[in-house]
Chain A
Amino acid sequence: MAKKSKKQQEALKLIDRTKMYDVEEALKLVKENATAKFDETVEAAFRLGVDPKKADQQIRGAMVLPHGTGKTQTVLVFAKGDKAKEAEAAGADYVGEADLINKINQGWFDFDVIVATPDMMAEVGKLGRVLGPKGLMPNPKTGTVTFDVEKAIQEIKAGKVEYRVDRQSNVHVPIGKASFDLDKLVENFNALSGTLMKVKPQSSKGIYMKNVAVTSTMGPGVKIDPSSFSK
């Protein structure tokens, strides 16, 4: 077995691995254990009672965290005419059409999110092979294919996060930084769990929130009792 580092051993002393904590306690522990030299990201993980193989049980979407993720995203917008101006006004970092497409084709990737208006998708689609592998393709469900560029940009800048179930029915979402105040983290967490409860597919059977845990980038995971918030 791999050796546990000193930090890891110390962190584990504080946590009772068998105990299910409530949200506040858990996030407090995570904050205490985030002792790395940088500002660690706090992440929540949910194991859901859905079958991701079934099309109607694929939970996917985006939501805005009330206190953001602590990261500002660089936004690139593909739009033309009025929409381009609107995007610029809304604070997009890059706005353009064919010029940007050429630039990306040559290997330029200084942005985190791409927003495109539907009428630009025919052009953006040509970048599929470049953007797809990096997960940068605009997608309507996460709100990045839309005419309402202003709203999209504002939301992304405010701390919009994407959530989706993976093949093992898990959802991983960042909910802030370890430097956040505890109540901000708790509110972010509650907003996320609330959203996930709302999007529960009707066809999902049995327990929906099977396991929940929060952790920081370098810290250990802390389990949360799903019944403490999902009522």
Chain B
Amino acid sequence: MNTALFYLACVIALSATGLALTRANAAHALIYLIVSLLAVAVLFFLMGAPFAAALEIVIYAGAIMVLFVFVIMMLNIGEEGVERERDWLRPRFWIVPGIMSTLLLVELLLALRDGAAFGAALTSGQAVAPKAVGLALFGPYVLAVEIASMLLLAGLVGAYHLGRRFLVRGGRH
């Protein structure tokens, strides 16, 4: 049962991502990207990581993608944007990156075939409770958490700085 659900979610995630890449209309592409993120959340859940699944929905599907939609609405490109995007999607633009990523996919598949760990993780279905995730994060992995928080702080200060300059310039005129 779980395996069937897993592969179903896999198919949805892969096809939604493919559709997200090939849509000329940015809004449609984003909807497919959201679907793909939701499918990945289901994958996390099935592999026994409900906490990661919830964060995938709350943060990626619920917050970051909203910002993407926000930008699309701000630009509001409409028909001419669709035309331009269609122009960019011609084969000569995507054929080389396509070949590269196909090679990467083959590598990934080979690694998956040899790595028994993946299959074991799927079938054993050891669920990890949120508390265990927290204990791991603030126990052995506390250094990674600190580095990530420093990175985020740098991003925050940078964003504040950029916004500040914009405000001052706007105020002078």
**Chains A and B belong together in one complex:** no
Residues of A within 8 A of B (CB): none
Residues of B within 8 A of A (CB): none
